[in-house]
Amino acid sequence: MRYSTPRPSNSVRHRIRFPVDLPRSLRLSTPVSSSSPAACADLHTPRAAFCFRRILAGRLFIINKSGGLIYYKDYGSAGRTDTNDSLRLASLWHSMHAISQQLSPTPGCEGIDLLQAHNFDLHCFQSLTGTKFFAVCETGAQNIEVLLKVIYELYTDFVLKNPFYEMEMPIRCELFDLNLAQVLQKDRVALLGR
Amino acid sequence: MQFFGGGSSLTSVPPDAGTPAPAAPPGTGTGGGPSAQVLYVFNRGGVCLLYREWHRPLRTLDPTQDQKLMFGLLFSLRSFTSKIDPTTAEKGNLGVPLLPGQGCSFYSFKTNTYKLNFLESPSGIKLILITHPRTGDQRDTLKHIYNLYVEYVVKNPLYAPGTPIK
């Protein structure tokens, strides 16, 4: 069992699962062999363990379609970012994502999906509804796109299906927190045990 | 002396070469090769010194607006990256102008239709090269372009600093 917490029944899960046949806008520029079901299976492979360890050095942001921060998690970065700064960073990213689409020399731009800085890499994944997931991780970290899609899957399962969750509002869903932490924790244990 | 002349190919210009042209890094054509789409050069104050385009089917804005938007994007991205950097604790405030080389900078970002490569020199010259998204690391190319700028623009006695390069 991947999760000890109750999950939706298999049939429902299968129907609402992250679509295997991704629309063009969601496809990665470099083909990842695993789409969703495989991405889940991928959690148990060393490569996924590697990428999970990598994100632990950075931060994870989820912003709604108007640029408001709805989820923020810090995985041990140096210094402290206060709440106002994380809100500012989130909305700044939202606007730069939009500007980068304006500046494209060829039509059909969907915004930044990888920013390479000297000390870190920032990977961004935008869902069809405009919710953006972005993670700051070490330079050269692999498979973060897959990880962000796994997080997107957790978001659809435990946030969007939560009847008490209001759309576009900050995520305060226990199950989401729990499962995200569990996925990361399980992987860290797997990594240390090896 | 070259600022970015760390690479062996850049410093090994033979003294009897006749011309002072810096050697191009291996695998680089003249100024980026066929995959280069657009090149911008900005000075510290945001004046666009040079704009070249080789392949640009889409134009959403007129040239001056486009250059302003590009400079603004780079300015904000610089302050964004220096603030979000997870490896340094002391980062200052968001939105305060940064000196060249201050804080954590970035060297490229990638979207599904293009890749933007960025180099900022210690004097605040910003080089932006837009290429196809599949191209690899272009940092050496940008250093090469910067060295060409130093050789043929800065050392040109007829060039007035801060004016567009002709």
Question: Which domain CATH number covers B71?
Answer: 3.30.450.70
Residue A136 lies in a domain: yes
The verdict on a CB contact (< 8 Å) between B86 and A57 is yes
Q: What is the DSSP string of A23-37?
A: -GGGS-SSPPS--HH
Contacts of B61 in chain A (CB under 8 A): 102
Residue of chain A nearest B131, judged by CA positions:
A105
Predicted local confidence at residue A54, as pLDDT: 53
Q: Which residues of A touch B90 (CB under 8 A)?
A: 79
- In the predicted model, what is the mean pLDDT of residues A31-52? 45
Best A27, A92, A134, A136 residue to mutate vs chain B (most B CBs within 10 Å): A92
**Predicted TM-score of the model (pTM):** 0.75
Chain A residues close to B84, C-beta within 8 Å: 59, 81, 89, 120, 122, 136
Quote the tokens at residue B71.
Answer: 């400079």
- Mean pLDDT (chain A) is 76
Which of B87, B91, B116 comes nearest A120 by C-beta?
A: B87
- pLDDT for A137: 87
- Please check whether residue A98 is in contact with residue A137, taking contact to mean a CB–CB distance below 8 angstroms: no
Residue B50 maps to a domain? yes
Q: Do A103 and B70 touch (CB under 8 A)?
A: yes
- Specify the pLDDT at position A153: 92
Is the pLDDT confidence value at A139 over 70?
yes
Confidence of residue B65 (pLDDT cuts 50, 70, 90): very high
The residues, any chain, with a CB within 8 Å of residue B73's CB and separated by 6 or more, are: A96, A99, A100, A103
Q: Is residue B166, in this structure, part of any structural domain at all?
A: no
Per CB distance under 8 Å, which residues of B are interface residues toward A?
37-38, 53, 55-58, 60-61, 66, 69-70, 72-73, 76-77, 80-81, 83-91, 94, 104-114, 116, 130, 133-134
pLDDT tens, position by position, A157-189 = 999 999 999 999 999 999 999 999 887 776 566
Q: Indicate the number of domains in chain B.
A: 1
Please name the member of B69, B84, B85 whose beta carbon is closest to the beta carbon of A99. Answer: B69
ipTM, two decimals, is 0.79
A19 is a domain residue? no
Query: How high is the pLDDT of residue A96?
Result: 94
Q: CB contacts < 8 Å between A and B, how many?
A: 128
Residue B44: inside a domain: yes
Q: How far is A152 from chain B (nearest CA, A)?
A: 19
Among A73-87, A178-192, B49-63, B121-135, the least confident range: A178-192
The answer to whether position A72 is within a domain reads yes
Nearest-CA distance from B156 to chain A in Å?
A: 32
Domain tally, chain A: 1
pLDDT at position A187, please? 58
Domain assignment present for residue A176? The answer is: yes
Q: In this predicted structure, what is the pLDDT of residue B98?
A: 87
- 3-state SS of A48-110 is HHHHHHHHCCCEEEEECCCCCEEEEEECCCCCCCCHHHHHHHHHHHHHHHHHHHHCCCCCCCC
> Does A143 score more than 70 pLDDT?
yes
**Residue A24 falls inside a structural domain:** no
**What is the pLDDT confidence band of residue B5, given thresholds at 50, 70 and 90?**
very low
Domain-located, residue B41? yes
CA distance A90 to chain B (A): 10
CATH number of the domain to which A45 belongs: 3.30.450.70
Domain ranges, residue A58: 37-193
Question: Out of A29-33, A69-73, A130-134, B89-93, which region has the weakest mean confidence (pLDDT)?
Answer: A29-33
CB contact under 8 A, B108 and A116: yes
Domain of B69, in residue numbers:
36-84+99-154
Query: Which amino acid is residue B141, in one-letter code?
Result: T
Rounded CA separation A112/A159 (Å): 25
Q: Which of A88-97, A167-176, B2-11 has the lowest mean pLDDT?
A: B2-11
Mean pLDDT of chain B: 82
